[in-house]
Amino acid sequence: MLKINNMKNYIIILILILILQICFCNFVNSQVINDYSGVYKIKGSEQRLELNSKGSYILYNPESFGHLATDFCKYSSKGQWRTISSDVIDLTSENYYLKQDGFKYDLKKESKLSQDSVYIDIIVPKDFENIATPEFDLLFNYKTSKRIRSVSNRIKLSKQDYSLMKVKNQLTLNLMFNAKGERFFNNRLNYNILQDYPLDVDKFNYFTISVPNFNQCFFDFEPYYHSYIYVKDKKTLMWKGEEWIKQ
């Protein structure tokens, strides 16, 4: 009986040792993964990618002393990162899991000018107006598909043609951009500001929509949805066809 008990104790000790070894290996592996955090630069460029040890990232723009509006944008993207294997890092930018300030809007309702028309006045920041020209895409009443696209931010529509009388109308507003002629275009082309917003065109006919935070930096933000970074070695990452060297 004593020999059997000793054998059981021996087996239990072996199992505990194996469990401790597995835990230690997992700990070591996690430490290796955490070593991916740090600041990386492209060879010959001042653009920096910072992988924070807490799981956030910031893609900084190169410092510039030029005169363009993009010169004051500190970063081009930020969000979260994680490892999905020993040699692959996954990046997802913040626009896929939170509402960015650039989408926030103010909507003012008035009744003025011709009551036979609906007026839509879209106001964007002045610094943005001078750089990019969006196309304003408006959809009235999804089921009836009354749509208009305009490069003018002041739009006048016939109530008879575009509105449903005596019922609540709905408005969807997108700001759309054309990348034609651009060799590299990393930012977004379509920005949804309003989605099925209820409009009472019987009571009001003049709507002013302001997007005060829709500036050049918001426009230049680069979205990444599960973008993969490949780990070449302890000091080198491969991303977007470039080598990023740990500093």
* Residue-range domain boundaries for the chain: 1-34, 37-98+222-246, 101-216
Residue appearing with tokens 């944008």: 73
pLDDT at 232 over 70: yes
State the pLDDT confidence band at 27, using cuts at 50, 70 and 90.
very low
User: pTM of the full predicted structure?
Assistant: 0.76
The pLDDT assigned to 80 comes to 98
Distance (Å, rounded) from C-alpha 80 to C-alpha 92? 6
CATH code, 101-216: 2.60.40
The pLDDT assigned to 247 comes to 93
Residues 110-120: tens digit of each pLDDT: 999 999 999 99
Across the chain, mean pLDDT equals 84
Fold classification of 37-98+222-246 (topology level): Lipocalin (2.40.128)
pLDDT at 128 over 80: no
Residues 83-116: tens digit of each pLDDT: 999 999 999 999 999 999 999 999 999 999 999 9
Higher-confidence residue of 210 and 62: namely 210
